[in-house]
Chains A and B, each alone.
Chain A
Amino acid sequence: MTNGINRRTFLKGAGVLAASAALPVGLVEIAFGKGNESFTFAYISDSHITQINDTQFVRNFDRGLQKAVLEVNFMDPQPDFVIFGGDLAQLGKKAEIDHGLAMMKDLTVPVTWVIGEHDYYLDLGKYWQEKVSPLYYSFDHKGVHFVVLNSILTHDDWTHKRWPTPEERMRQMARLDNPEGSPFMVKDEQIAWLKGDLAKVKKDTPLVVLSHSPLYKVFKEWNFWTDDAEKVQALLKPFKKVQVLHGHVHQVLYNRIGNISFNAFMATAWPWPYPVSYSQLKNKVPDMTVFMNRADPFKERDGTGWGKIDLAAGPKVVHHYELWENSPRTVENNPKGNPADTKYQDPKMRIPSQEHY
């Protein structure tokens, strides 16, 4: 955590500001938010705080979260709030949630919380609801309707009957490539709630939906997947502008299905490979995503980072990927409305480290 990195983040923030001030008026008029209500929020996700014994936690993962918190605090101007995308803890332990919360308390702006499977499957969200946040809820901010979903539920049998102890259940769900795993779902009770919540919202109100897993299907074997995603998408379909933001995949990932744009962000803990790198199974990784570079394991923070979302700097939404140890990435909607990398979308612009093993 050198001063150089902090200064770079700060300066980059200032550069983005200057660029948005210079945008043609026409572009600003079709901003995501209503009227002149432009705003920025930050996205931190997947810190996977891991307890080793009573007082010891995995240093690497602590450092990732601390670095993200520090850099968000350096943002100038400050974001309106921070979204935490889930997987604060590794095995859902109180000590891990408490330790993660203690680090997140250093943030100078409020936090909107999304729960991940690593926070949930020890006590099924009990401690999270006591100490952190409800599991699903909605709120309005400067003309945008935000919905938080708990997308990491699964079959009742798997949750309640399959495992001898809560610890064993948590351990099983924590293994990403588990053949004994179970697919993520939003489930009907929450879908009914969502239907009711959205009934009160005008169809031209911009929507931002926050979930931990992608609300579409990428790769079932790693739960880059929500089994009942289509039911959620159907409820979002009547709205003019819909942005889904999610964690869980620990990588830059973006897609568009109809009116819905999907963007995922890096973890602060460690990066995950793209499912295409597992040669034995088929995947549905969206073609439009320009992958982040394969992380260099000798650089501990490579492939991790945090994000910043501008809801007014461009035609729709601008996603800034603060990709540590790499050049930062920017993804925004192109004239066709698809999310596109502003620099690397054209294959001719790619650099060898993007193909590197």
Chain B
Amino acid sequence: MLKIVCSVAAVVVAAIALVISPARADEFTKEDLKKWDAAFQTVAKEGEKLFHSALGKNSVSCDMCHPHASNNHPETYPKFQKQLGKVVGLREMINWCIQNPLEGVPLALDDPRMYALEAYIYWERRGVKLAPGKH
């Protein structure tokens, strides 16, 4: 009995949610798509800027070893990083580079700058087949 009451309540709640939701799932336009893409590109552009600037203390920048963000292989992460002895994501490697060749302080894993760097690195690798774990 209680079960039935609960599920009825759930259906009612869902119906109300549907009625007050501002738009249906298919109600977005080409303009919206443009806007969302522009939002991504803004972050990726910010990433490109960070990638080409001194993120550490010694004026060295990421692009000096990775022109066009090449030779990062983001499609292989997460993977077993043999030098760290465990499975890590691309963010751990970005931080490793900031700490070592760039002699800087690592970013928080949810730092907006981390998302920007990631956006730029993935953008420059677009179209390449995913290969998680590959060495």
For the complex, give the distance between the alpha carbons of A275 and B71 in Å.
9
Tell me which of A58, A176, A277 contacts B71 (CB under 8 A). A277
Instruction: Say whether B66 contacts A273, CB under 8 Å.
Output: yes
For the complex, give the distance between the alpha carbons of A357 and B75 in Å.
11
Instruction: Say whether A50 contacts B83, CB under 8 Å.
Output: no
**Interface secondary structure of B, over-half rule:** loop
For the complex, give the distance between the alpha carbons of A337 and B83 in Å.
41
Q: A221-B68, A270-B65 in contact; A357/B73 too (CB < 8 A)?
A: yes
Instruction: Say whether A272 contacts B65, CB under 8 Å.
Output: yes
Q: A177-B67, A273-B66 in contact; A50/B59 too (CB < 8 A)?
A: yes
For the complex, give the distance between the alpha carbons of A175 and B68 in Å.
10
How far, in Å, is B28 (CB) from chain A's closest CB?
29
**Interface secondary structure of A, over-half rule:** loop
For the complex, give the distance between the alpha carbons of A279 and B66 in Å.
13
How far, in Å, is A292 (CB) from chain B's closest CB?
12
Contact with A along B75-102 (1 / 0, CB 8 A): 0100000010000000000001100110
Tell me which of B58, B60, B100, B126 contacts A297 (CB under 8 A). B100
Q: A272-B65, A279-B125 in contact; A52/B83 too (CB < 8 A)?
A: no
For the complex, give the distance between the alpha carbons of A222 and B58 in Å.
23
For the complex, give the distance between the alpha carbons of A222 and B126 in Å.
19
Instruction: Say whether A271 contacts B65, CB under 8 Å.
Output: yes
Tell me which of B57, B58, B67, B83 contacts A278 (CB under 8 A). B67
Instruction: Say whether B70 contacts A278, CB under 8 Å.
Output: yes
Is B35 an interface residue, CB under 8 A from the partner?
Answer: no
How far, in Å, is A84 (CB) from chain B's closest CB?
20
Q: Which residue of B lies closest to A56 (CB)?
A: B58
For the complex, give the distance between the alpha carbons of A298 and B70 in Å.
18
Is B128 an interface residue, CB under 8 A from the partner?
Answer: yes
CB-contacts of A188-234 with B (<8 A): 221-222
Contact with B along A266-286 (1 / 0, CB 8 A): 000011110101111100000
Q: A271-B65, A356-B135 in contact; A298/B83 too (CB < 8 A)?
A: yes
Q: A273-B71, A278-B68, A297-B97 in contact; A50/B63 too (CB < 8 A)?
A: no
Is A94 an interface residue, CB under 8 A from the partner?
Answer: no
Is A38 an interface residue, CB under 8 A from the partner?
Answer: no
- Residues of A contacting B126 with CB < 8 Å? 280
CB-contacts of B48-73 with A (<8 A): 52, 57-60, 63-68, 70-71, 73
Instruction: Say whether B128 contacts A279, CB under 8 Å.
Output: yes
Is A296 an interface residue, CB under 8 A from the partner?
Answer: yes
For the complex, give the distance between the alpha carbons of A51 and B97 in Å.
20
Is B127 an interface residue, CB under 8 A from the partner?
Answer: yes
Is A145 an interface residue, CB under 8 A from the partner?
Answer: no
Tell me which of B59, B63, B134 contacts A177 (CB under 8 A). B63
Q: Can you list 30 pairs linking A and B with CB atoms under 8 Å apart?
A: A50-B58, A52-B57, A175-B52, A176-B64, A177-B63, A177-B67, A177-B68, A270-B64, A270-B65, A271-B65, A272-B67, A273-B65, A273-B70, A273-B71, A275-B70, A277-B71, A278-B67, A278-B124, A279-B70, A279-B125, A279-B127, A279-B128, A280-B68, A280-B126, A294-B71, A296-B83, A297-B83, A297-B96, A298-B83, A357-B134
Interface residues of B, Cβ cutoff 8 Å to A: 52, 57-60, 63-68, 70-71, 73, 76, 83, 96-97, 100-101, 124-128, 134-135
Pick the 10 closest A-B CB pairs, nearest first.
A273-B71, A177-B67, A278-B70, A298-B83, A277-B70, A176-B67, A357-B73, A277-B71, A177-B68, A278-B68
